[in-house]
Structure 1
Amino acid sequence: MIEHISPKAFVAVQAEELDKKLVISIEVPAGSDVLYAFKDVMYIRTGELTQVAKTQTIRDIVMRHQIEPERWERRFSIADIEEHIDVEAVRSTVSAAANMRRVLFRDKRNLSMVLEGFSVAWYGRLTNGGDVLFTPDSNQSYALQFR
């Protein structure tokens, strides 16, 4: 099984019996790669959810690397959306954007979708720009520590 996973990563496999059924648990630590492949099928991970990557997602990733030079503020930050974001700052920005009628959100209640609407998160991961804008202390942001 491990030889079919790309990119190569440490994988912990555990089998146990629950309710007289064999359950196999596979744990793969988060890495910097956005896409993962298993037996030639591409998957993308958003938080705890792993799903088959849609054609448009794959196309977006390829096109971003072909057309646009990589800019620091668009690189992925090590900050975690669920742990490190100042939710009140995001809500305040959403409110200001709604008043100006400049941004349409797919779902104002979904933090990841709102951040993607502002183009400061992609594929469930925060960018350095989002880190600087929406972590509580931008002077100590995760992005600035690793420039």
Structure 2
Amino acid sequence: MTDTAIPTTVLTFRDAVAADLPVLTALYETSGIDTPGFNQPSTVAAAWTRLMQQPGVRVRVAEADGQALGTLTLFVLPLLAHNGQAAALVEDVAVHPSAQGSGVGRALMDDAMALASAAGCYKLALSSNQRRTAAHAFYEHLGFERHGVSFVVPLQETSDAA
């Protein structure tokens, strides 16, 4: 990914494919989700094959002029509570720094909300690391409300925390 000006053409959205993995990991690292060099190609490829091809999992890519500018992962979770209505969860929202503030993040979230709604989800939730205050303001601007309390227990040692 190059640090060029934001393309002026229309954004398009699509599901990611395995060939997108280098671009996706670059987006995670340049946006601050992961530290540079954290993602190992073989580990990411194995996770893609093992986990990200499951029903209800969609890794979305926003692009313009063939350049990936942002991504997120949408999970549709089947539930028995809430009269059997599914819920949706968004994780790993990443927008390239050159495209931040241009509407890419908003468009990605609108895409996720539309997909979740079409899947019959009664809510769309996300969590965000406490240190990402700019992201919190962004989500609140989109209409998200702080809800409940989030708890995390590390299950394996890692140098990055979600």
TM (norm. structure 2) is 0.27
Largest Rg, 1 or 2:
1
TM (norm. structure 1) is 0.28
Structure with the larger helix share = 1
